[in-house]
Amino acid sequence: MKRIIIAVFATLACVLIVRLPGQVKPSFQPYKQLYDKAEALFNGSATDSTDSVAITLYATIINKLAVTYENASFLYNCYERSGILKQGLGYNSTGILQDYYAALQIQKAYHLSDSALFRLLLSAGNVHYMNSIFDSSVYYLTWAEKIINRYPSAGLAGRWCWWPDW
C-alpha cells in the first residue's frame, strides 16, 4: 500500500511539473500590434499629439504585461521610449525618471545588453542635469560614456533626443 501511495504521489508530481510551466507562459504577442503602432509614432514625424498617443500605447502595454524573461527587452523598450517622449513633452521629471528607473531595473534583473542602455543613460543624465542634481547627472553621463566607448554603434540607436534634426 505504501508503494502505491508513493507511485501515485510521484506520478502527480511529474504531471504537475510538466504541465504547469506550459500553462503559465504569458505571451506578449497580443501587445505587439500596440507596440508597433507606438513605434511608428515614436520613429515618425514628432508632434505633441503623436507623442502623446505613443505614450498612451506604451503605458497600456506596461500596465497590462508583467515582466518575464521572454518579454523583458520588449518592456524595457516601452519604458525607455515612454520616458524619452515624456521628457520631450515636458512631463514632470519624477514621472520621466520612474520610466527610466523601471527600464534600468529590467535591464539589470534580466541581464539585457549594456549597449541598449546608452540612450536611456544619456536621457536620465539630462533630466538630472536640468533639475540641478549634478552628481546624479555625472553618474549617468559617465556610465553612458563608458558604454559608447565600449560599443561605438550604441550612439546610432535612433531618435534619442527631443529636439528637431537640423
**Global pTM?**
0.77
Of the given ranges (22-31, 62-71, 106-115), which has the lowest mean pLDDT?
A: 22-31
| Integer CA distances (angstroms), 26 to 23, 68, 109, 147, in order | 8, 8, 18, 32
pLDDT tens for each residue of 115-145:
999 999 999 999 999 999 999 999 999 999 9
Helices (H), 89-163: 93-109, 118-130, 134-150
C-alpha cell at 54: 505613443
The grid coordinates listed for 11 are 506520478
C-alpha cell at 67: 515582466
Is 19's pLDDT higher than 80? Answer: no
Lowest mean pLDDT: which of 27-31, 32-36, 106-110? 27-31
49-93 residue pLDDT tens: 999 999 999 999 999 999 999 999 999 999 999 999 999 999 999
Q: Which domains does the chain have, with CATH numbers?
A: 29-156 (1.25.40.10)
| Three cell numbers, residue 127 | 533630466
* Res 57: pLDDT: 97
CA 128 to chain centre: 19
3-state secondary structure of 63: helix
